[in-house]
Amino acid sequence: MSDEPKVQGLVTEVLPNSLYRVKLEDDRLIIAHLAGKLRLHRIRVIAGDSVTLVLSPEGEKGRIVYRN
């Protein structure tokens, strides 16, 4: 899992069901969810937070793995 490419983004909107709309560095908007460790430790992510994501192979969805 450490070989997955990571990208930076900014949370623009908090959606229902633990989903987030994230604007990536290249100005794309994607939908992302929290990784298991963030849920386990109850890390709160709000609009305006800078986050690190791992994108799906299709590049349409992502998993938030770190809140900066």
41-53 tens-digit pLDDT: 999 999 999 999 9
pTM (predicted TM-score): 0.90
pLDDT (mean) for 22-47: 95
Could you tell me the CA-to-CA distances from 15 to 1, 3, 6, 28, 57 in Å, in that order? Answer: 26, 29, 22, 17, 22
Give the domains, in start order, of the chain with CATH numbers: 6-67 (2.40.50.140)
Could you tell me the CA-to-CA distances from 8 to 12, 16, 17, 57 in Å, in that order? Answer: 13, 22, 22, 16
pLDDT reading at 1 higher than 70: no
52-68 tens-digit pLDDT: 999 998 878 999 999 99
Written as six digits, the tokens of 45 are 């992510």
